[in-house]
């Protein structure tokens, strides 16, 4: 469903009514949403839609999709940013901060606790077995993401060509993810400016089906709250404060410990990632894996799958897997600190520089969102980025599969590029059987993500104990 520009301007001109929603009630609702935010962005957005639109009727369908479409244009986790946007719309800055922070907090605490378990008990048969099973299941989940995003984004041959080009660039030539995003966005923007029909394919996560709840029938109503109207002075003030909160710690770390320290590298790498994380967590994971495993040597390919398994089975954005990466990076290069202290600081630092920019994009740009909606060039750029992301996620799926199902790989050089090819004789048959079973459960029987992950974890633990 798309809201027309006319409808938007009419709603913006309507005086806003007092919605009468106590801030304490909103905090409890955001905490409830955070505790139920499993299943990736599509599932998280569906939970927000069910509670905020259908159950509470705080906002309507039109405004919900308006906010979602804006968040889809931003780098970072769109579900968390959508929570911050709606929280801001209801209760100004404090509402956005609470909604966005609560969306992250449960997952942060859960992954931090599980990271401690991972490094302290990871050599025990039970933990080894659980993560052995999780790796196999995560392969199926990533393949499902390829199909889900691809079915939405690859509507014509131009979009399919962008996906193929992105896959070739990253798989064979190791092209940086930011460069792929930039190239796709530039091509899409030019196509949109020229009015090329191939770029008018739309995208985004659909809201739940059922009777439409109109803005006029909700607590917020059709009007635009005063604080949501464009105010350049406020936007510059809040953007400056958030920029300081984001970059001041990064600058301080660089000055105090130097650019080669693990904390400096964590701060700079994940700050850079926060600016280019278009296309969702699975696309970002390819970039993180490329750098964290290949460039920095913070962890091994299988450990990236372990981290993704933790993020998949805990509430919050899937991008929280970066916290696990920062934890292990600091744990293994603690310097004079106790490894667990360093790891905890690494996890906190990673989370901080990943999510503070999300509030910057929302508070700095949300009041001006009316000017962005319906812009054909920006919509075309987003469509092209989404198409490129399909190729990037496919690369991630193959990379995970090669390094999880096979113990030996060899580098194959081809036409100026190179890729890791598996040695077929090194196939891990139990891992292959578990992964194949997970794929069948997901695609043939439409099993849910959490049941598949839990079942594979239990089977993995059972296998380790048996052998």
State the pLDDT confidence band at 4, using cuts at 50, 70 and 90. very low
What is d(CA 172, CA 175) in angstroms, rounded to the nearest whole number? 8
Residue 209 predicted with pLDDT over 70 = no
CA end-to-end span of the chain: 53
Give me the chain's average pLDDT, please.
85
What residues have CB less than 8 Å from 69, skipping those under 6 apart?
204, 373
**Mean pLDDT of the region 231-245:** 91
Ranges of each domain in the chain:
108-200+228-420
DSSP category for residue 421: E
What pLDDT score was predicted for residue 2? 39
Nearest to 246 by CA among 267, 265, 222: 267
State the pLDDT confidence band at 415, using cuts at 50, 70 and 90. confident
Query: What DSSP assignment string belongs to 325-357?
Result: HHHHHHHHT-TTS-HHHHHHHHHHHHHHHHHHH
What pLDDT score was predicted for residue 39? 59
What residues have CB less than 8 Å from 120, skipping those under 6 apart?
none
What pLDDT score was predicted for residue 179? 84
Nearest to 284 by CA among 33, 40, 101: 40
**Mean pLDDT of the region 5-25:** 62
What pLDDT score was predicted for residue 6? 40
pLDDT of 368-389, one tens digit each?
A: 765 555 578 877 887 888 788 7
What is d(CA 197, CA 158) in angstroms, rounded to the nearest whole number? 10
pLDDT of 16-70, one tens digit each?
A: 557 789 999 999 999 999 988 875 676 688 788 889 998 999 998 878 877 876 7
Q: Which two tokens stand for residue 241?
A: 């404060």
What pLDDT score was predicted for residue 289? 82
């Amino acid at each position: 469903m798309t809201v027309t520009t006319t409808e938007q301007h009419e709603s913006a001109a309507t005086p806003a009514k007092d919605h009468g929603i106590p801030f304490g009630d909103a905090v409890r609702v955001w905490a409830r949403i955070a505790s139920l935010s499993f299943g990736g962005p599509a599932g998280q957005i569906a939970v927000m839609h069910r509670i905020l639109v259908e159950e509470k009727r705080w906002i309507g369908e039109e405004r919900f999709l308006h906010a979602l479409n804006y968040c889809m244009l931003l780098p970072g986790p769109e579900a968390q940013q959508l929570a911050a946007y709606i929280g801001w719309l209801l209760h100004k800055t404090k509402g956005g901060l609470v909604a966005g922070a609560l969306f992250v907090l449960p997952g942060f605490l859960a992954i931090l606790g599980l990271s401690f378990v991972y490094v302290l008990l990871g050599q025990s048969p039970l933990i080894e077995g659980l993560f052995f099973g999780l790796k196999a299941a995560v392969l199926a989940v990533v393949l499902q993401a390829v199909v889900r995003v691809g079915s939405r984004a690859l509507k014509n041959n131009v979009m399919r060509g962008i996906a193929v080009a992105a896959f070739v660039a990253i798989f064979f030539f190791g092209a940086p993810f930011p460069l792929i995003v930039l190239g796709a966005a530039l091509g899409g923007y030019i196509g949109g400016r020229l009015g090329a029909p191939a770029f008018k394919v739309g995208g985004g996560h659909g809201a739940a089906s059922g009777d439409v709840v109109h803005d006029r029938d909700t607590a917020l109503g059709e009007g635009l709250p005063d604080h949501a109207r464009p105010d350049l002075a406020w936007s510059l003030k809040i953007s400056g404060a958030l920029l300081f909160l984001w970059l001041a710690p990064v600058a301080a770390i660089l000055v105090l410990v130097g650019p080669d320290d693990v904390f400096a590298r964590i701060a700079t790498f994940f700050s850079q990632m926060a600016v280019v994380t278009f296309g969702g967590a699975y696309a970002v994971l390819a970039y993180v894996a490329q750098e964290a495993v290949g460039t920095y040597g913070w962890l091994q390919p299988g450990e990236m799958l372990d981290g993704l398994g933790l993020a998949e089975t805990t509430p919050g954005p899937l991008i929280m897997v970066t916290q696990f990466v920062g934890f292990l990076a600091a744990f293994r290069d603690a310097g004079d600190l106790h490894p667990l202290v360093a790891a905890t600081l690494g996890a906190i630092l990673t989370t901080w520089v990943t999510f503070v920019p999300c509030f910057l994009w929302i508070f700095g740009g949300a009041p001006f969102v009316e000017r962005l909606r319906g812009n054909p060039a920006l919509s075309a750029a987003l469509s092209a980025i989404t198409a490129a992301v399909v190729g990037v996620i496919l690369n991630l799926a193959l990379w995970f599969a090669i390094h999880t199902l096979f113990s030996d790989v060899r580098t194959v050089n081809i036409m100026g590029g190179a890729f890791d090819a598996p040695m077929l004789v090194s196939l891990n048959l139990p891992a292959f059987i578990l992964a194949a079973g997970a794929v069948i459960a997901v695609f043939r029987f439409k099993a849910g993500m959490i049941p598949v992950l839990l079942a594979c974890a239990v089977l993995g633990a059972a296998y380790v104990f048996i052998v």
